[in-house]
Chains A and B, each alone.
Chain A
Amino acid sequence: MSGGIRMKNVTLYYRLYHDRAVTLRETMLNLFNRKTRIENFMALDDVSFNIEPGESVAIIGSNGAGKSTTLKILAGIYIPTSGTADSTGRIASLLDLGVGFHPDLTGEENLMLNGALLGLGRNDMKKLVPEIADFAQLERFMDTPVKYYSSGMFMRLGFSLATAVDPDILLIDEVLAVGDVGFQNRCYERIWDFRQKGKTIIFVSHDLDAVSKLCERAIWLHEGRIEMDGDADSVLSAYLETSQKKYISTTATPKEWGSREIWFDSVILRNADGTPSRTFRRGERIVIDTLIKSRLPSGVDNVVFGFSIHRPDGETVIGSNNLEMNQPLLKFQGSVSSRIEIDLDIAEPGTYLLGLALTDPEASRDYHWQEFFYPIALIEERKDPPLRLSEAIWIQE
């Protein structure tokens, strides 16, 4: 069965120009005073992985980690500087939608031209045109030059074309923000369909929710190297945890303050099974396992242990504590293990920031605050079946 991918020791260099000379004159001048420094930038560094037919794999990592470069190598656009990349079967790449479209040509003319660019025969393409137009919901506009299309229509045609060719391998680079919500869902459905049919899917995205829905395996790239390769859940958790500082620096910065007479010595987030995790599915319990220590000579009572959950920009979504929820306050000497078990009703999946606090409102003391401290991903799994029949009644009157 075709659809397998084999990357073996792939290294790829870009040339980075510092003060790049663009004209010949500049180059000539630079020959003498060596102004231009050419740096060989290693975009991928000895990357190896195998993907079996039918696998759906996410490639995650921060900007510049080599995700798109990997896709471009798989698509045959870049040739590795060293190492080999092989694949079997037809590849459809959704790297950039509608690039082959010429504004002055009609929808149909553009489809035929792009069919030729994709290496399809004329008759094969003729057969596909009505299907593509139908999926893009653009039947009425096939004889209109695409420059009169809205950007949404343009992208819809691009997506329909790219996925119409019945590929064995689908390469997707964050292009799913296509058109209106209705069409986005149809895009996901089509991609899901490919998955069900056992096609290989490689998905590059920053949308960890989308990743966890679509992919069973994830490869985490960091500065051109594979940091981790494994099942999507554990890779996502590890990625979230490590990227926390970088991730938050653009949004709410983690803050920590307090007298530290009482402090969080360790904090571990676990799922209901007790496995450390930073991703939680809808309906899954979040367990915050803490070890709290005190250096107050006498024991303490009345310690309020609170948590809060924020959006990445810092907006508080939920916050509560044991005092507010009428639960026992902490009472200990030296150290204590304390656990919060949280059940959430997730309306909007996404990435959130969890904060913790130890206070004593009566003595108006702030012992230890960790605000925006623990990024967590609340994800929604695709349900199969998505609908369940609860009841149906036939009535004859």
Chain B
Amino acid sequence: MSAGWNIGRLTLLMESLVAKDLKVRYKRSILGFAWFLLKPLFSMVVYYFVFTRILRFGGAIPHFSLFLLTGLLPWNFFSSSLSATSSSLLDNHRLIRSIYFPRMALPAAEVAANLVHLLLALLVLEVLLITFGHNPGLSIVLILPALILLTMMTVGIGMILSVGNVFYRDVKQFIEILLLAWFYSSPIIYPLDSIGVDIIQSQRLMMILKFNPISGFMEIMHSIFYLGTWPRLWCWISLGSWSIIFLLAGMAIFRKAESVVVKEL
């Protein structure tokens, strides 16, 4: 109550929670952090074969496997974060019911832990890209604001899921299905208009897909990493607005539900 929570204390709390998460996750694991890379790498291999050998549209995109990886890494961050946040309050119910601390830190820390992974994975990605001749341009500096916006959005959605899952356990199941549909409606295995390859023929479908909250970020990834060019303006407008909407909505819902959630846990 009067422990005096300021920004410094809050940062330390987040740091400690993230450090705990990372330590705990890789204790007694041989491959450790490599798993965060392996999962998207395996999906990359699968999608590569499906979309170059069976459906064959991937052939239009040079180094299709690298293109896939550019989107799969942040998608893996996004989906793992949402699954983790949805159970973050339930998993810590005893803690929440016995001492007071800013509980928003719990879902936020799950996202932050995944962000650490993403940063490392992006380094590996950059090395691979350079090896195959996809040199980054100046636009690489934009990855920072893009990641900040993506994190804001993920935290916002995560907060909504974390309180939702306390009232209805279905939320966690539901989000898994939603993520599957979300994945295919996002420009991950195909581009929208970022790399000059037109896969989507219909203008209307293109408009609809651009409304997807994650589309902007994915297209920014393609521009920055895969092509080394400046991302298009619509990407920033979309990502920026969705991030602010989700973060504000997430915090508002969390604040409002918090006092009830504590008693429901």
A and B co-occur in one complex: yes
A77 near B9: Cβ-Cβ < 8 Å: no
Known contacts A23-B168, A119-B9: A89-B2 contact under CB 8 Å: yes
Q: Counting CB contacts under 8 A, is B96 at the interface?
A: yes
Segment 1-55 of B: residues with Cβ below 8 Å from A: 1-5, 8-9, 12-13, 15-17, 19-20, 23-24, 27
Closest to A43 in B: B263
Known contacts A14-B263, A75-B1, A116-B15: A24-B168 contact under CB 8 Å: yes
- Chain A hits for B19, CB < 8 A: 113
A116 near B16: Cβ-Cβ < 8 Å: yes
Q: How far is the CB of B168 from chain A (nearest CB, A)?
A: 5
Known contacts A90-B3, A121-B9: A23-B170 contact under CB 8 Å: yes
B98 near A113: Cβ-Cβ < 8 Å: no
- Chain B hits for A76, CB < 8 A: 1, 100
- Chain B hits for A75, CB < 8 A: 1, 98-100
A79 to B19, CA, bound (A): 30
- Chain B hits for A95, CB < 8 A: 97-99
Q: Is the interface of A mostly helix, strand, loop or mixed?
A: loop
Of the listed stretches A101-109, A240-248, A310-318, A326-334, name the one at the interface; the rest are far from the partner chain. Answer: A101-109
A23 near B1: Cβ-Cβ < 8 Å: no
Q: How far is the CB of B262 from chain A (nearest CB, A)?
A: 6
B1 near A78: Cβ-Cβ < 8 Å: no
B168 near A93: Cβ-Cβ < 8 Å: no
B13 near A77: Cβ-Cβ < 8 Å: no
Q: Counting CB contacts under 8 A, is A88 at the interface?
A: yes
Contact with A along B151-192 (1 / 0, CB 8 A): 000000000000000001110001000000000000000000
Known contacts A88-B2, A117-B99: A24-B170 contact under CB 8 Å: yes
A120 to B8, CA, bound (A): 10
Q: Counting CB contacts under 8 A, is B101 at the interface?
A: yes
A96 to B97, CA, bound (A): 9
Q: Counting CB contacts under 8 A, is A25 at the interface?
A: yes
> What interface size band does chain B fall in?
20 to 34
Q: Which of A14, A15, A22, A116 contacts B168 (CB 8 A)?
A: A22
A116 near B13: Cβ-Cβ < 8 Å: yes
Segment 7-24 of A: residues with Cβ below 8 Å from B: 14-15, 22-24
Q: How far is the CB of A175 from chain B (nearest CB, A)?
A: 10
B13 near A117: Cβ-Cβ < 8 Å: yes
B9 near A72: Cβ-Cβ < 8 Å: no
B262 near A78: Cβ-Cβ < 8 Å: yes
A77 near B15: Cβ-Cβ < 8 Å: no
- Chain A hits for B24, CB < 8 A: 102, 104-105
Q: Counting CB contacts under 8 A, is A112 at the interface?
A: yes
Segment 66-84 of A: residues with Cβ below 8 Å from B: 72, 74-79
A72 near B8: Cβ-Cβ < 8 Å: no
Q: How far is the CB of A327 from chain B (nearest CB, A)?
A: 56
Q: Counting CB contacts under 8 A, is A118 at the interface?
A: yes
Q: Counting CB contacts under 8 A, is A27 at the interface?
A: yes
A74 to B98, CA, bound (A): 11
Q: How far is the CB of A68 from chain B (nearest CB, A)?
A: 10
Q: How far is the CB of B194 from chain A (nearest CB, A)?
A: 37
A72 near B97: Cβ-Cβ < 8 Å: yes
A227 to B27, CA, bound (A): 53
A209 to B2, CA, bound (A): 32
A74 to B8, CA, bound (A): 24
Known contacts A15-B263, A116-B12: A77-B99 contact under CB 8 Å: yes
Q: Counting CB contacts under 8 A, is B95 at the interface?
A: yes
Known contacts A90-B2, A116-B16, A121-B12: A99-B94 contact under CB 8 Å: yes
Q: Counting CB contacts under 8 A, is B201 at the interface?
A: no
B168 near A99: Cβ-Cβ < 8 Å: no
Q: How far is the CB of B87 from chain A (nearest CB, A)?
A: 15
- Chain A hits for B263, CB < 8 A: 14-15, 78
Q: How far is the CB of B155 from chain A (nearest CB, A)?
A: 19
A377 to B91, CA, bound (A): 42
A76 to B101, CA, bound (A): 9
Known contacts A77-B98, A104-B23, A105-B24: A119-B169 contact under CB 8 Å: no
Q: How far is the CB of B142 from chain A (nearest CB, A)?
A: 33
A22 to B15, CA, bound (A): 34
Q: Counting CB contacts under 8 A, is A64 at the interface?
A: no
Segment 93-109 of B: residues with Cβ below 8 Å from A: 94-101
Closest to B101 in A: A117
Q: Counting CB contacts under 8 A, is A100 at the interface?
A: yes
Q: How far is the CB of B183 from chain A (nearest CB, A)?
A: 23
Q: Counting CB contacts under 8 A, is B203 at the interface?
A: no
Segment 239-265 of B: residues with Cβ below 8 Å from A: 259-260, 262-264
- Chain A hits for B27, CB < 8 A: 104
A96 near B168: Cβ-Cβ < 8 Å: no
- Chain B hits for A14, CB < 8 A: 263
A78 to B261, CA, bound (A): 10
- Chain A hits for B260, CB < 8 A: 15
Q: Counting CB contacts under 8 A, is A91 at the interface?
A: yes
A102 near B100: Cβ-Cβ < 8 Å: no
Q: How far is the CB of A174 from chain B (nearest CB, A)?
A: 13
Question: Could you list which residues of chain A lie within 8 angstroms of chain B, going by C-beta atoms?
Answer: 14-15, 22-25, 27, 72, 74-79, 87-91, 93, 95-96, 99-100, 102, 104-105, 109, 112-113, 115-122
Q: Which 8 A-B pairs have the closest CB atoms?
A: A76-B1, A119-B3, A76-B100, A116-B16, A96-B98, A79-B259, A24-B170, A95-B98
Q: A77-B97, A90-B3, A117-B13 are in contact. List 14 more A-B contacts (CB 8 A).
A: A24-B170, A75-B100, A77-B99, A78-B259, A78-B262, A79-B259, A79-B262, A95-B99, A96-B97, A113-B16, A116-B15, A117-B16, A117-B101, A121-B9
Can you sample 20 A-B contacts with CB below 8 Å? A25-B170, A75-B100, A77-B98, A77-B99, A78-B259, A79-B259, A79-B262, A87-B1, A90-B2, A91-B1, A91-B2, A96-B94, A99-B94, A102-B24, A105-B20, A105-B23, A109-B20, A116-B9, A117-B13, A121-B8
